[in-house]
């Protein structure tokens, strides 16, 4: 069967291998582009959020490539993510496509449903549960290798001597990880790519700013949706630290906070889940502030209720902790040039703030 999945950051590289290992033909949708967004926008309700539109466009492109089944993730809580699968399926049907969408909900919500859906994806007479666990572990290793390489690229980019070199090397790293197939090859690829990134010519004497990236998961993870904001910031001399990666392992091993810590940090402001990653945007901003970050960028799809609620709370977090937060609302009208100008102004502000604080500290003045 030809199986496709959402295109989100670099994760398609791991999902492609997993689908193949399960005995199916993977259909990797093209990297999201203007065409994807046009497809999605033309066929979505006007006020659907940006991830909904990009995903729909992506599914339509996958169907053009012959996808017979699309596997996607669900969502819980009071936000539209939980309806994505149903609505996408309805729109595809109305457009005359019989491609089925299987929504994988969290196993914590309904383990029987989760296992039943996994079983339905495993090729009949194909792999055993044991093999499934083995190939799943392999895909997980690949996901970790991809995340590790990306985290390192964001750390190195602001120090690169030749602008754009990190981006070029990172693309090569993705190819190397993509080609690795066995567990051993994947682990070797992870080491090789780490070395490649570390050998980029850098000027470590630069004083870089540290900015945390929070917000809704899809726009945080997919560079097309956020107009490659992390690359833009990196090339402006800013080290970015993203609060969300797909692999939890990577998060825990690279200084990321556990979700419980994040929710605890948000609790003085809000102690109820209000959908999406809203509460995490608040909690992560508090934690970034406590860790001495210079600022935070919140990425929010236009009309995203959880991030709108978070934005209103973040005003108080800024007041209490003095951490500047720039909220960027993203939709199909958002342009790269406008975003670049806003980021430059924000980075200027952060630099001036740091100079004032350091100057005052040298004079022994408390601010």
Structural contact between residues 346 and 326, judged by C-beta atoms closer than 8 angstroms: yes
Structural contact between residues 29 and 4, judged by C-beta atoms closer than 8 angstroms: yes
Q: Between 80 and 144, whose beta carbon lies closer to ligand SF4? A: 80
Site string for ligand SF4, 285-304 (x = CB under 6 A): ----------------x--x
* Of positions 1, 28, 196, 305, contacts ligand SF4 by CB under 6 A: 305
Strand order of the β-sheet with 238-242 is: 238-242, 209-215, 295-301, 325-330
Check binding of 157 to ligand SF4 (CB under 6 A).
Answer: no
* Residue whose CB is nearest to ligand SF4 in the complex, by number: 276
Shortest separation between residue 276's beta carbon and ligand SF4, angstroms: 3
Check binding of 279 to ligand SF4 (CB under 6 A).
Answer: no
Structural contact between residues 314 and 298, judged by C-beta atoms closer than 8 angstroms: yes
Q: Which residues pair with 160 in a beta bridge?
A: 202
| Measured distance CA(323)–CA(279) in Å, rounded | 17
| Measured distance CA(226)–CA(302) in Å, rounded | 12
> Backbone phi, then psi, for 213, in 5-degree steps?
-110, 120
Contacts of 219 (CB under 8 A, 6+ apart): 50, 51, 225, 226, 299, 300, 301, 330
* Of positions 154, 306, 317, 350, contacts ligand SF4 by CB under 6 A: 306
Q: Between 153 and 281, whose beta carbon lies closer to ligand SF4? A: 281
Shortest separation between residue 316's beta carbon and ligand SF4, angstroms: 21
Q: How many CA atoms lie within 13 A of 228 on its CB side?
A: 11
- Taking CA atoms, 171 is separated from 102, 113, 174, 175, 234, in Å, by 31, 37, 5, 7, 16
Shortest separation between residue 284's beta carbon and ligand SF4, angstroms: 15
Which stretch, 76-84, 96-104, 242-250, 315-323, contacts ligand SF4 (CB under 6 A)?
Answer: 76-84
* Of positions 9, 32, 234, 276, contacts ligand SF4 by CB under 6 A: 276
Check binding of 49 to ligand SF4 (CB under 6 A).
Answer: yes
Which stretch, 77-85, 115-123, 143-151, 204-212, contacts ligand SF4 (CB under 6 A)?
Answer: 77-85
Shortest separation between residue 38's beta carbon and ligand SF4, angstroms: 19
Check binding of 81 to ligand SF4 (CB under 6 A).
Answer: yes
Query: Residue numbers of the site for ligand SF4 (CB under 6 A)?
Result: 49, 51, 79-81, 216, 275-276, 301, 304-306
């Amino acid at each position: 069967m030809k199986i496709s999945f959402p295109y989100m950051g670099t994760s398609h590289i791991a999902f492609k291998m997993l689908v193949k290992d399960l005995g199916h033909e993977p259909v990797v949708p093209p990297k999201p582009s203007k065409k994807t967004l046009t497809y999605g926008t033309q066929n979505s309700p006007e006020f659907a959020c940006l991830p909904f539109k990009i995903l729909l466009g992506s599914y339509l492109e996958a169907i053009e490539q012959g996808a017979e089944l699309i596997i996607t993730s669900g969502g819980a809580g009071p936000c539209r993510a939980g309806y994505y699968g149903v609505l996408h399926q309805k729109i595809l049907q109305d457009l005359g496509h019989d491609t089925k969408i299987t929504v994988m909900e969290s196993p914590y919500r309904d383990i029987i449903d989760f296992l039943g859906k996994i079983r339905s994806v495993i090729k009949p007479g194909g792999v055993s549960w044991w093999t499934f666990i083995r190939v799943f572990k392999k895909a997980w290793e690949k996901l970790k290798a991809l995340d590790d390489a990306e985290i390192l690229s964001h750390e190195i980019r602001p120090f690169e001597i030749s602008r754009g070199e990190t981006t070029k090397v990172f693309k090569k790293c993705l190819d190397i990880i993509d080609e690795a197939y066995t567990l051993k090859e994947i682990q070797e690829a992870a080491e090789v790519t780490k070395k490649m990134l570390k050998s980029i010519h850098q000027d470590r004497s630069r004083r870089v700013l540290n900015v945390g990236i929070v917000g809704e998961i899809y726009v945080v993870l997919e560079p097309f949706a956020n107009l490659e904001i992390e690359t833009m910031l990196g090339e402006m001399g800013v080290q970015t630290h993203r609060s969300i990666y797909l692999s939890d392992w990577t998060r825990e091993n690279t200084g990321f906070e556990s979700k419980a810590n994040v929710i605890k940090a948000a609790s003085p402001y809000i102690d109820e889940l209000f959908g999406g990653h809203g509460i995490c945007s608040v909690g992560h901003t508090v934690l970034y502030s406590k860790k001495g970050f210079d600022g935070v960028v919140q990425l929010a799809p236009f009309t995203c209720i959880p991030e709108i609620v978070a934005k209103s709370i973040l005003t108080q977090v800024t007041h209490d902790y003095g951490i500047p937060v720039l909220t960027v609302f993203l939709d199909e009208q958002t342009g790269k040039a406008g975003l670049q100008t806003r980021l430059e102004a924000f980075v200027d502000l952060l630099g001036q703030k740091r100079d004032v604080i350091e100057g005052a500290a040298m004079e022994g003045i408390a601010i």
